[in-house]
């Protein structure tokens, strides 16, 4: 019921998902360190963000490069509201009330506009709009803080100093930070379950029909324009919500953390590695990618230094942690080529044998 009649359909995948979700749920208990908490939050937020992107890429088959724009709108609306109205819940509510409709309207505008033109332009137009938005956000510094972004204070209840349940009861400090974590966790779980519901509804079936053959879907009497635009708006709203949770956790919104093109690439990589058109792929992809990003880079650093001390040419530069995207890009090409169905697709195919 809760999985909308779309179970993982592979024992390995089911175990993997249970392990990921259980670990994320118990992170404050198991790994109370700041770094582990940050990594766990990032996994939650990106799982929801990637799932919403999967709705577009995997289920309707349209490539959008504007997804970070909606993520950024969410982040910035919370940040600007809390920055200008002070740390209270009314500000959070204002941010939500302003950000979600804004994201939806923009998605509607892009959707309707690019539907007027050839479908093939969609990826290019979203790329252009997203880059214009990024420039706009860094130039309107009176509103967005420019390149520095906006830092802000959270409402009293969510601050780390607020101890809700002392250590003696649960064995760890349940403070405002922990509460924020669970807020993020619950929000992301709710969003992913909602998306799972959407893609397994009749509406989701129509989206898949459009992906497979747009003309046939249209000939069957479905208004493809309506369905595509609707999916676009839905994805935008979820992405904006994920952005809001991200801003709440970081207590900051800036171009690097919420708008940059590299986040878009990360999302693409997670979707493809996890498996397009599966929803579960978002969770698996986000977890693997972010763990690798945080812990493999350290490994690359070691390797780079070892190569440098061994006097090898070129290798230290190639293995430098900043060149992490190089290897990721190669991995990306390889996975599009060899594993177009991603991890989830592979596991499901394995279970069918």
Partner 1 sequence: MTDLAATDPLPKPKRDFLPALLPIILALAVLPLIGSGSSWVTLTVASLAMGMMIFIMASGLTLVFGLMDVLNFGHGAFIAVGAYVATLVLLPLAGWVQADSLLVNLAVLAPAALLAMAVSGALGLVVERVLILPVYGQHLKQILMTTGGLIVAEQALYALWGPQIIPLPLPTSLRGSFIIGDVAIAKYRLLAMLVGLVVFLAVQLVLNRTKIGLLIRAGVENREMVEALGYRIRQLFLGVFMVGSALAGFGGIMWALYREQVHASMGNDLTVLIFIVVIIGGLGSIGGCFIGALLVAMVANYGGFLVPKLALVSNILLMVAVLMWRPRGLYAVTSR
Binding site for partner 1 (CB under 8 A): 57, 61, 63, 113, 116-118, 120-121, 123-125, 127-129, 131-132, 135-136, 139, 261, 265, 268, 272, 314, 317-318, 320, 322-323, 325-326, 328-330, 332-333, 336-337, 340
Rounded (10°) angle between helices 280-309 and 261-274: 110
* DSSP for residue 88: S
Separation of CA 27 from chain center:
19
Q: Looking at beta carbons only, is 116 or 353 nearer to partner 1?
A: 116
Nearest distance from C-beta of residue 61 to partner 1, angstroms: 6
User: DSSP alpha helices (H): ranges in 59-199?
Assistant: 67-85, 89-116, 122-139, 141-144, 167-170, 176-199
Annotate 239-272 with b (16+ C-beta within 10 A) or e (fewer).
bbbbbbbbbbbbbbbbbebbbeeebbbbbbbbbb
From residue 334, give the alpha-carbon distance in Å to each of 53, 276, 330.
Answer: 21, 15, 6
Count helices and strands in the chain by DSSP H and E runs: 17, 4
Closest contact distance (angstroms) between CB of 51 and partner 1 is: 18
Of 20 and 272, CB closest to partner 1: 272
Q: How far is the CB of 328 from partner 1 (least distance, A)?
A: 7
Q: How far is CA 129 from CA 10, 37, 116, 291, in A?
A: 40, 34, 16, 31
Taking the complex as a whole, how short is the minimal distance between the CB of residue 335 and partner 1, in angstroms? Answer: 9
Residues 6+ apart with CB under 8 A from 100: 74, 237, 240, 241
Nearer to partner 1 (CB atom), residue 104 or residue 129 = 129
Rounded distance, CA 341 to CA 241, Å? 27
Minimum CB distance to partner 1 smaller for 265 or for 351: 265
By C-beta, is 93 or 326 nearer to partner 1? 326
Q: Closest distance between partner 1 and the C-beta of residue 75, in Å?
A: 20
* Smallest distance, partner 1 to C-beta of residue 293, A: 14
Paired tokens of 245: 């949770």
Q: Pick the closer one to partner 1 by CB: 2 or 314.
A: 314
- Choose between 49 and 269: whose C-beta lies nearer to partner 1: 269
Give least dist CB 252 to partner 1, A.
24
């Amino acid at each position: 019921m809760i999985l909308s009649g779309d179970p993982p359909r592979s024992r390995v995948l089911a175990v993997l998902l249970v392990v990921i979700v259980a670990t994320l749920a118990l992170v404050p208990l198991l790994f109370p360190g700041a770094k582990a908490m940050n990594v766990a939050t990032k996994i939650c937020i990106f799982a929801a963000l990637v799932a919403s992107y999967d709705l577009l890429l995997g289920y309707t088959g349209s490539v959008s490069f504007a997804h970070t724009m909606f993520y950024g709108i969410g982040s910035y609306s919370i940040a600007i509201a809390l920055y200008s109205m002070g740390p209270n819940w009314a500000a959070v509510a204002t941010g939500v009330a302003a950000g979600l409709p804004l994201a939806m309207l923009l998605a509607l505008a892009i959707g309707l506009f690019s539907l007027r033109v050839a479908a093939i332009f969609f990826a290019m137009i979203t790329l252009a709009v997203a880059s214009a938005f990024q420039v706009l956000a860094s130039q309107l510094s009176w509103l967005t803080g420019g390149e520095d972004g906006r830092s802000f204070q959270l409402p009293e209840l969510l601050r780390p100093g607020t101890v809700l349940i002392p250590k003696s009861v649960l064995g760890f400090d349940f403070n405002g930070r922990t509460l924020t974590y669970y807020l993020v966790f619950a929000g992301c779980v709710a969003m992913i379950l909602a998306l799972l519901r959407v893609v397994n509804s009749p509406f989701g079936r129509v989206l898949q029909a459009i992906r497979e053959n747009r003309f046939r879907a249209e000939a069957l009497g479905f208004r493809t324009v309506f369905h595509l635009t609707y999916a676009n708006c839905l994805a935008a709203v979820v992405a904006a919500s994920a952005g809001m949770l991200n801003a709440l956790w970081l207590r900051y919104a800036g171009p690097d953390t919420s708008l940059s093109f590299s986040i878009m690439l990360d999302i693409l990589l997670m979707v493809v590695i996890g498996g397009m058109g599966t929803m579960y792929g978002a969770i698996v992809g986000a977890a693997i990618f972010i763990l690798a990003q945080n812990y493999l880079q350290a490994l690359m650093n070691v390797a780079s230094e070892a190569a440098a001390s061994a006097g090898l040419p070129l290798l230290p530069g190639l293995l430098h942690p900043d060149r992490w995207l190089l290897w990721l890009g190669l991995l990306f090409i390889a996975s599009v080529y060899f594993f177009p169905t991603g991890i989830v697709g592979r596991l499901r195919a394995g279970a069918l044998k």
